[in-house]
Amino acid sequence: SLDDQIAAVQAEIDDAPLDSAEAAEAYRVRFLGRKSGVVTDLFAQIGTVAPDQRRAVGQRLNALKQAAQDRLDAAADGARGGAGGAEGATDLDLTLPGRVPAPVAGRAGRGSLHVLTQTLADIQDIFRSFGFSVARGPEIEDDWHNFSALNFPADHPARDMQDTFFLEPPPPEGRGVVLRTHTSPVQIRALEDGEPPLRLIAPGRVFRNEAISYKSYCLFHQVEGLVVDEGVSFADLKAMLQAFARAFFGASDGPAREARMRFRPSFFPFTEPSAEVDVWWADSALPDGGRWMEILGSGMVDPNVLDNVGVDSERYTGYAFGMGVERLAMLRHGIDDIRLLYENDVRFLRQF
């Protein structure tokens, strides 16, 4: 009978699943569809009902429709509120993929660390594993920390306008505020603030007013190293740098994989003796199959420097080094132009 059919549809309306967008759409078509919906079918049968009962049956069928609509609306609200409810027949489709930033080369943009940042992190990890702590100093320095305490004579060419950026014009006697030209001023700050034994590195940016080319840029990064203790020798310095090179290049597949290095006698006002270290850049296009590339300056801390900061130079000795991070990154990855590291061309950056 029609009564039984209405009861069956009522039960279905209450229980039919509404747990996905597809289920909600099927539900809408089945119970609220105008052409083939089951409630529409029931309305079509109303002519078979005794005339005095048509009104009551009509009301029951309208109530059925309303119940179906209410359940559908409630499910849509639940979905919209994210409460885990089913999705209704609305314009909200939780199954669509989320909105993502404009794709780069077909994928959603997910950044990565700049190759210099990666290189710096690797250098720091290696020295931390050797027991070094990490110190930092300001990029704007005074003459004392950048030059005088480091034993630069008043007329040393490094103080020249040629390669130092002065923030204030140097007064006649040659003192001024500068952008640090190296990380060695952090040696002075560490020695002023602390007591030996000291064993630290100081990573950071340095600035030089040099002609820009494939191998030099107006700013670059150095990692300074300083070890001061009783009985520190040049052999310690050499062993430390060799261990570093092995750790840094050993894991890479760049041109300097073998980490062939050489120590060359050199001069710095703040170290005596001094040495520069070169690493072999293999390149079959070059006449010798490669060339030496300088990566760092180093030496035994000059006793004058220890005296300048009030450390007993009879009791303590130390070594120091300052390595160029860009050079190390270039060697490791076979990058042949330092400017690539500062242009932020994503076609370059994406390779690392």
Which residue ranges make up the site for ligand PHE (CB under 6 A)?
182, 184, 268, 271, 297-299, 320-322
State both tokens at 69: 């609509």
When the beta carbons of 268 and 281 are compared against ligand PHE, the nearer one is: 268
Please report where in the chains the tokens 């600035």 appear, as a residue.
Answer: 207
Question: What residues form DSSP beta bridges with 178?
Answer: 141, 166
State the Cα angle at 333 between 331 and 339, rounded to 5°: 75
When the beta carbons of 255 and 297 are compared against ligand PHE, the nearer one is: 297
Q: ω into residue 273 within 30 of 0, thus cis?
A: yes
3-state DSSP call for residue 275?
strand
When the beta carbons of 57 and 320 are compared against ligand PHE, the nearer one is: 320
| Main-chain dihedrals φ then ψ at residue 262, nearest 5 degrees | -140, 145
Question: What residues form DSSP beta bridges with 263?
Answer: 277
Instruction: Give the C-alpha separation, 161 to 139, whole Å.
Output: 17
When the beta carbons of 88 and 297 are compared against ligand PHE, the nearer one is: 297
3-state DSSP call for residue 285?
coil
Closest distance to ligand PHE from the beta carbon of 335 (Å): 21
Instruction: Give the C-alpha separation, 40 to 28, whole Å.
Output: 12
Closest distance to ligand PHE from the beta carbon of 199 (Å): 15
When the beta carbons of 137 and 299 are compared against ligand PHE, the nearer one is: 299
State both tokens at 181: 């030209």
When the beta carbons of 64 and 186 are compared against ligand PHE, the nearer one is: 186
When the beta carbons of 176 and 297 are compared against ligand PHE, the nearer one is: 297
State the Cα angle at 71 between 31 and 47, rounded to 5°: 35
Element (H, E) at 207: strand 198-207
What one-character DSSP code corresponds to residue 297? Answer: E
3-state DSSP call for residue 250?
helix
User: Are 57 and 46 within 8 A, CB to CB?
Assistant: yes
User: Are 247 and 230 within 8 A, CB to CB?
Assistant: no
Q: Which of 53, 55, 60, 82 is nearest to 13 (CA)?
A: 60
Closest distance to ligand PHE from the beta carbon of 207 (Å): 11
| Main-chain dihedrals φ then ψ at residue 327, nearest 5 degrees | -60, -40
276 annotated as a binding-site residue: no
Please report where in the chains the tokens 């293999």 appear, as a residue.
Answer: 282
3-state DSSP call for residue 290?
strand
Count the Cβ atoms, other than its own, within 10 Å of residue 176.
20
Per the annotation, where are the binding residues for Mg(2+)?
A: 272
